[in-house]
Chain A
Amino acid sequence: MKLAAHVQAIPPSGIRRLFDVVAQMDDVISLGVGEPDFGTAWRVREAAIYGLERGRTSYTGNSGLLELRQAVSAALRGRYDLVYDPDAEVLIAVGVSEALDLALRALLDPGDEVLVPQPCYVAYPPCVALAGGVAVAVGTRAAEGFVPAAAALEAAVTPRTRAILLNYPSNPTGAVPDEAALRAIAAVAARHDLVVISDEIYDRLAYDAPHVAFAGLPGMRERTLLLNGFSKTYGMTGWRVGYAAGPEPLIAAMTKIHQYTALCASRPAQEAAIEALRTPDCAVQAMVDEYDGRRRVIVSGLNRIGLPCHLPRGAFYAFPSIAGTGLSATEFAERLLVEARVAVAPGDAFGVGGEGHIRCAYATGLPKIEEALARMERFLAGLPGFVPGRAAAARG
């Protein structure tokens, strides 16, 4: 069968191969899981069950249940003082993944460029390509906390550049730019009339300072599409529900695509999401505190065993350097898995700047994190020529 050339041109995921190996092994401690170990709260599951019992199983409107859009709008107003009209400026989608796909398809003509600071979430470059665009990598460095320099972004702008795709707190680096760095990026967007797609799925997992919503920066609301969902904050990865909030013309264009493709997000998931937004803040805070503790344990542990690691300011990933081992990220991840039974994601899977690093998710309990660190320490002790503490060379 002949397949579309642009689909065939997309390389297979660097994580997928590792997953196939893990599936055949026992006693693996996984630091490779990009989803919370806190399952969905019972109150949320119960709300979905009630919805099913009452027969709420039909399609919803294309934009999603009005009650959910209102709740999303209220949450964004309460948290970030951002005002979005639930009737025209909020779209409920099948996770942030679908919302991102819709946004790129709505914005890009063939050959249009999107600036993507890297290392980044594995799906961004393929999503841009599938929408007919060109993902332009802008590398970031460990020494700068994996925050993109505005000058580097600006240098990558061409007449074809349409958008910047941001994700802070970041998967895989845990990076969170401070407000000054975000304002510098905003200035680039304004100067070159770019749309900013801001995937803020980890917004509640910002440990050292309150999260800054990109759309809340001066002049940014009218050119920013805010993406968020329920997967990370509420442990709802398998429900597949997220949302986009942004200027009406963009939301309308996205809704047009959505109505012909997904039609609407799953009804039970939307019912559950309404309840999730009613979660008391203290419950979310308890989860954040738990991750914060694990973050300190894993980062201090990685540094102690000789894998230099900056303190990530958000999300639930540590992104240490493995330069001292002399191995490539993929070699390291595969050998660590086979020889020490610890699964991590190789950094090169996340694009430019990722080589020489591994991603260690701390969305797993402390005893397992500590055991994983002990196994990694033994693995490193058996590596000839390992230079503890050597950081990755700076990459542009």
Chain B
Amino acid sequence: MSEPGDDLTRKILRALETDARRGPRQIALLTGLSEAQAADAIAALERRGIIRAYRAAIDWGRVEPERVVAFIDVSVTPQRDVGFDQVAARIYRHPEVRSVHLVSGGHDLRVVVEGRTMHEVAAFVGEKLAPIEHVTATNTHFQLRAYKEDGLILTEEPTDDDRLAVTP
């Protein structure tokens, strides 16, 4: 019924990205589908791996102020046939690693790592990441403050609606 990239699919995905708790009933209301159609469409998107997970957006800095996040630029010697993929896989399989991207510029992989303490992150870089075969250099940047993550501004409280309550 719906194909990835069509308008309806986009509407469903945007509605779920805004609020993952929306169920088929609400998605149906929002898009004009029947509830059964909405449920089918969502199930298909899950099956195809387009919807990967349903999650809460959490500002962990307010729960664990000591938590450490590091952005690590990793230089890699690419390998015949597999390029960067094999090294990337050896990195992203570690649960401490939050994200891994292959990027253009002075380095190859941009890795985000989380830990409870700076020592823990330093140990991860020194003992797990840097020694991986074909990793030639690492450059670690510790996060000092998170302003915005995944489209959410973390450093400003939501502002009150200052519109007049009844306007023409």
B-chain residues with CB within 8 Å of residue A343 when the two chains form the complex: 165-166
**Bound-complex Cα distance A18 to B167 (A):** 10
Q: How far is the CA of A30 from the CA of B15 in the complex (A)?
A: 23
| Beta-carbon nearest neighbor of A363 in chain B | B163
**B131 proximal to A (CB < 8 A):** no
Contact call A33/B167, Cβ cutoff below 8 A = yes
Roughly how many angstroms separate A296 CA and B34 CA in the complex, as a whole number? 12
- From residue A14, how far is it (CB to closest CB) to chain B in Å? 10
The verdict on B78 contacting chain A, using a C-beta distance below 8 Å, is: no
- State in angstroms the CA–CA spacing of A13 and B168 once bound together: 9
Is A179 interfacial (CB-CB < 8 Å)? no
Chain B interface residue number, banded: 10 to 19
Residues in A261-284 with C-beta less than 8 Å from chain B:
none
Report how far A91 CA is from B31 CA in the complex, Å: 39
In the complex, which of the residues B26, B29, B30, B165 contacts A28, with contact meaning CB atoms closer than 8 Å?
Answer: B165
B166 cross-chain contacts in A, Cβ below 8 A: 15, 18-19, 22, 30, 32-33, 343, 345
Asked whether, in the complex, the Cβ of B161 is within 8 Å of the Cβ of A35, the reply is no
Q: Choose among B26, B32, B164 the residue that contacts A33 (Cβ–Cβ < 8 A).
A: B164
Does A293 make an interface contact (CB < 8 A)? yes
Q: Does any Cβ of B come within 8 Å of A5's Cβ?
A: no
Q: A304: shortest Cβ distance to chain B, in Å?
A: 10
Asked if B29 and A297 make an inter-chain contact with CB atoms under 8 angstroms apart, the answer reads yes
Q: Provided the pairs A296-B29, A296-B30, A297-B30 are in contact, do residues A22 and B165 lie with their beta carbons within 8 angstroms?
A: yes
CB of B11 within 8 Å of the partner chain: yes
* 28-54 of chain A: CB within 8 A of chain B: 28, 30, 32-35, 37
Contact pick for B15, options A33, A121, A293, A364, CB 8 Å: A293
Q: A289-B14, A293-B11 are in contact. Are A300 and B29 (CB under 8 A)?
A: yes
The 9 closest A-B pairs by CB, nearest first: A32-B166, A293-B30, A22-B165, A30-B165, A19-B166, A122-B168, A34-B167, A297-B29, A33-B163
Chain B interfacial positions (CB closer than 8 Å to A): 10-11, 14-15, 19, 26, 29-32, 161, 163-168
Sample of 17 more A-B contacts, CB < 8 Å, known A19-B164, A289-B10, A293-B30: A15-B167, A18-B166, A30-B165, A33-B163, A33-B166, A33-B167, A34-B168, A37-B161, A121-B168, A123-B168, A171-B168, A289-B11, A289-B14, A294-B30, A296-B30, A297-B26, A364-B161
